[in-house]
Amino acid sequence: RKEVEQDPGPFNVPEGATVAFNCTYSNSASQSFFWYRQDCRKEPKLLMSVYSSGNEDGRFTAQLNRASQYISLLIRDSKLSDSATYLCVVNPYNNNDMRFGAGTRLTVKP
Amino acid sequence: NAGVTQTPKFQVLKTGQSMTLQCAQDMNHEYMSWYRQDPGMGLRLIHYSVGAGITDQGEVPNGYNVSRSTTEDFPLRLLSAAPSQTSVYFCASSYSIGRDREDYGYTFGSGTRLTVV
């Protein structure tokens, strides 16, 4: 079993839609969780951290379910500019060694 | 503030050649790492360093060497290039988790696209 698993997609949604991605992780002792965004042929960039109580940043909401070992990312009112690959990142060993999911590709269409 | 600078951006090597991918950061980050990204496989850790003079192996270290003589620089050396090393390479840096900061997410360089023929 991979340490971090994501649905690869692609997710194709119209502008204005709400879309959600899930990610599961295998190490129940994992401490830190992140979502990164990667545009085509670019480097990954930190989108948001995921906190135990859930957190929101504008149209983006991240949630953590430790019992089921998954994290989610919700994007409301999708914009064309949201088209990218979203990487789920988990810190399973409480050090700087992050483990990356393979990414979920999102395309937002007019 | 340049962040993480990687060079070169593109490189074509012949099998058996060696080369060094350069990575430099100006954020005084303790932690630096090298990843390779292949389609459908996500980012895989090659080597990492928690500070100057300290390096360690990641998930896929074979065929690569690193050194960390300064806080700023973390070069990756391909010893004898093989077609299996064709990939996109990313250098990343962050504050050490021991700093008790929440913002220890990675900052990535813009990547090096390497083709070995």
**pLDDT tens string B13-48:** 999 999 999 999 999 999 999 999 998 788 999 999
User: Are A87 and A9 contacting, i.e. CB atoms less than 8 angstroms apart?
Assistant: no
Which has more pLDDT, A3 or A93?
A3
Q: Is A95 on the interface with B (CB under 8 A)?
A: yes
Q: Is B27 on the interface with A (CB under 8 A)?
A: no
Sort out which chain B residues have CB atoms less than 8 A from A96's CB and list them: 31, 33, 48, 50, 94, 96-97, 104
User: Are B48 and B91 contacting, i.e. CB atoms less than 8 angstroms apart?
Assistant: no
* Interchain CB distance below 8 Å, A49 and B102: yes
Which has more pLDDT, B53 or A96?
B53
Backbone angles phi, psi at B83, to 5 degrees: -55, -30
| Mean pLDDT across B83-88 | 97
Q: Which residue has the tokens 């990492």?
A: B48
Q: Is A44 on the interface with B (CB under 8 A)?
A: yes
